[in-house]
A = this chain, B = another copy of it.
Amino acid sequence: MAKRKSEFGLKRPFHELGESMFLPHLSVDCVIFGFHEGSLKVLLLQWKDGPWCLPGGFVKHEESIDRSAIRILKERTGLDAIFLKQFHTFGDPDREKGKRFKKGWISKRFVTVGYYALVEYSKVFPQPDQLSSACVWWDVQSIPDLIYDHKQIVALALNTLRLSLNDHPVGYNLLPSKFTMPELLRLYETILGQELDRRNFQKRMLSLDILIKLNERKTGGAHKAPFLYRFDKKKYDRAMKQGLNQSW
């Protein structure tokens, strides 16, 4: 991976630079989901003075908000071809309760556009930004206190992800290219927060006709070796266009 180049010139303080580079009052925050060892993770940043927050950033004057989100994601994860979707814009004037910045551009009110991303855990090499001391995965079950309304942003992202299962087979973005049926099952169970019958789950998944069963098994586990599967990209894309679960 190429060495990440800082966005900032470093000569002038952050709150001055922002003013000339970015749109005022507008930010982008990303809820980046990964899946590892049977649990759903979110990538969080820790500021140098302690509190945790979502990876986020600002919108350049000539940049689309989608592009901003892509850029932010690239900076934190090193990935660029990933699933990224805007899900809500947060515009309460009190949303940034407890803001520390007291002067300049950054001390003002910000409306933030929330995106959620689905990334393959193993391909991510978390990168803190220059304001942060850490960038690490947290289990969604045990997220620490977050600044501002970021906890609500995560909650809404998670809910959106949950709902999207109905028309979007999420595994394609969160799992490695080869995966087993139990792994896919585990993913769905953690996102939904409930157990599913593995036999009926398998039937339903296969009936979507977007999976290819490989002639390999995943060995090394303590028990019977499960078959590996991969997504059939063509059929997957076709299914996505139509929507999986059009109940009307």
Contacts and interface: CB of A to CB of B under 8 A. Distances in A.
Given A23-B111, A24-B25, A111-B59, A64 B86 contact: no
A61 B109 contact: yes
Interface of A: 23-26, 59, 61-66, 68, 86, 88-89, 91-93, 109, 111, 113, 162, 165-166, 188, 192, 196, 245, 247-248
A62 B25 CA distance: 12
A109 B24 CA distance: 11
A59 B245 contact: no
22 contacts: A23-B109, A24-B24, A25-B25, A25-B26, A26-B111, A61-B93, A63-B93, A64-B91, A64-B92, A65-B91, A66-B92, A68-B91, A86-B89, A89-B89, A89-B113, A166-B166, A166-B247, A188-B248, A192-B248, A196-B248, A245-B247, A247-B247
Nearest to A188: B248
> A23, A65, A196: which has the most chain B beta carbons within 10 Å?
A23
Nearest to A25: B23
A61 B247 CA distance: 42
Contacts of A68: 91
A114 to B, nearest CB: 9
B91 A166 contact: no
B93 A64 contact: yes
Contacts of A92: 64-66
Contacts of A65: 89, 91-92, 111
Contacts of A165: 248
Contacts of A23: 25, 109, 111
A166 B248 contact: yes
Contacts of A59: 91, 111
A59 to B, nearest CB: 7
Contacts of A192: 248
A156 B65 CA distance: 17
Given A62-B93, A64-B91, A66-B92, 15 more contacts: A23-B25, A23-B109, A24-B25, A26-B26, A26-B111, A59-B111, A65-B91, A65-B92, A68-B91, A86-B89, A89-B89, A162-B248, A166-B247, A166-B248, A188-B248
